């Protein structure tokens, strides 16, 4: 199967870049399934039902969220009615929505997508390792289970993301990090056959501080006074993510490559 994951979409710059470029990327890479992190899509903070619809119309199959999941309050009553929108799995019981889903892909194949949130330098949450372990025990990778399993680890610390990937190696097709908004140069296949990139990077304007306008973001560090509220940079956006090809007989990755399209970063296109 041919899979694409795109990192955190930040504001209108990120949305426009994804919505304009994804149909062409989807066709050129002959993609079967696309997952996009939408936690910063609505002016940098959360996502709205309308934005979800725009992403689906552009060829997104599943949207994941993160610590900004609930920034737009209208998403709380909406999420239970949209099975394609996932929030982190390891939120406490009673949190709206789901952290895992099983979806149809072309030619009768199935894809499981799950998101967990890390705990290092993040708000305390349930154990992400135990949460993902429960889901992987329920559904096996490969025919009869899911031909592909994609896990989004939304975390600050590179060590925690890499540890989740090693913990899942051989049991998932792709483990990919989100949240840092900076793409890492370590797309690879782990020994057990799980594709991995520590962070997919954001989709947004890189002439910024992780997607936000530079001056207010810099002042937040330079002086400890309340300042202007952060808002997304509004220059041309870059699309960042990771492409993975899997073997349907095993669900394991045979190819993993970074994808970057747009200004400000060196472009990367899967060979």
Number of residues that bind Fe ion (CB under 5 A): 6
Per-residue mark of binding to Fe ion, 39-68 (x: CB under 5 A): xx-------------------------xx-
Between 40 and 184, CB nearer to Fe ion: 40
Between 66 and 237, CB nearer to Fe ion: 66
Cα–Cα nearest to 198, from 255, 251, 153, 265: 153
Q: Where does this chain touch Fe ion (CB under 5 A) — which range of 13-21, 37-45, 122-130, 217-225?
A: 37-45
**Least Å distance between CB 87 and Fe ion?**
11
Distance CA 58, CA 144 (A): 30
Distance CA 91, CA 145 (A): 25
Distance CA 236, CA 206 (A): 8
**Least Å distance between CB 56 and Fe ion?**
20
**Least Å distance between CB 268 and Fe ion?**
20
User: Buried (b) or exposed (e) across 20-36, using 16+ Cβ within 10 A?
Assistant: ebbeebbeebebbbbbb
Between 14 and 270, CB nearer to Fe ion: 14
- Closest-approach residue to Fe ion (CB): 8
Distance CA 24, CA 90 (A): 34
Residues with Cβ within 8 Å of residue 170, at least 6 apart in sequence: 141, 190, 192, 193, 194, 252
Evaluate whether 155 touches 126 at the Cβ level (below 8 Å).
Answer: no
By CB under 5 A, is residue 179 in contact with Fe ion? yes
**Least Å distance between CB 69 and Fe ion?**
9
Distance CA 80, CA 82 (A): 6
**Least Å distance between CB 30 and Fe ion?**
28
Between 67 and 198, CB nearer to Fe ion: 67
- Ranges within 67-96 binding Fe ion (CB under 5 A): 67
Between 59 and 66, CB nearer to Fe ion: 66
Q: Where does this chain touch Fe ion (CB under 5 A) — which range of 106-114, 115-123, 130-138, 179-187?
A: 179-187
Q: How far is CA 87 from the centre of its chain?
A: 11
**Least Å distance between CB 99 and Fe ion?**
15
By CB under 5 A, is residue 205 in contact with Fe ion? no
Between 66 and 97, CB nearer to Fe ion: 66
| Strand ranges for 179-238 from DSSP E | 188-189, 195-197
Cα–Cα nearest to 186, from 258, 259, 270, 264: 258
Which residue among 1, 5, 8, 152 contacts Fe ion (CB under 5 A)?
8
Query: Is 181 a known active-site residue?
Result: no
Active-site choice (43, 68, 179, 264) = 68
Q: How far is CA 253 from the centre of its chain?
A: 18
Write out the residues near Fe ion by the rule CB under 5 A: 8, 39-40, 66-67, 179
Catalytic positions, written as ranges: 68
């Amino acid at each position: 199967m041919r899979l694409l994951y795109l990192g955190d979409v930040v504001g209108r710059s990120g949305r426009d870049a994804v919505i304009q470029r994804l149909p062409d990327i989807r066709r050129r890479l002959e993609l079967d399934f696309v997952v996009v992190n939408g936690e910063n899509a609505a002016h940098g903070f959360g996502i709205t039902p309308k934005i979800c619809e725009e992403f689906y119309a552009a060829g997104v199959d599943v949207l994941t969220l993160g610590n900004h999941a609930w920034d737009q309050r209208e998403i709380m009553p909406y999420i239970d009615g949209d099975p394609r929108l996932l929030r982190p799995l390891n939120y406490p019981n009673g949190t709206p929505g789901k952290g895992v889903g099983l979806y149809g892909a072309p030619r009768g194949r199935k894809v499981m997508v799950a998101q967990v949130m890390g705990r290092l330098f993040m708000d305390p949450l349930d154990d992400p390792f135990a949460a993902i372990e429960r889901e992987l025990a329920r559904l096996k990778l490969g025919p009869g289970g899911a031909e592909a399993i994609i896990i989004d680890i939304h975390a600050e610390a590179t060590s925690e993301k890499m540890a989740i990937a090693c913990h899942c190696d051989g049991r998932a097709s792709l483990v990919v990090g989100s949240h840092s908004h900076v793409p890492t140069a370590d797309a690879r296949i782990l020994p057990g056959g799980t594709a991995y990139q520590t962070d997919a990077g954001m989709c947004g304007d890189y002439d910024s501080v992780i997607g936000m306008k530079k001056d207010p973001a810099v002042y937040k560090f330079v002086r400890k006074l309340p300042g202007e509220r952060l808002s997304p940079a509004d220059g041309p956006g870059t699309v960042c993510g990771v492409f993975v090809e899997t073997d349907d007989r095993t669900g394991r990755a045979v190819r993993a490559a970074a994808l970057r399209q747009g200004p400000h970063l060196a472009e990367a296109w899967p060979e």
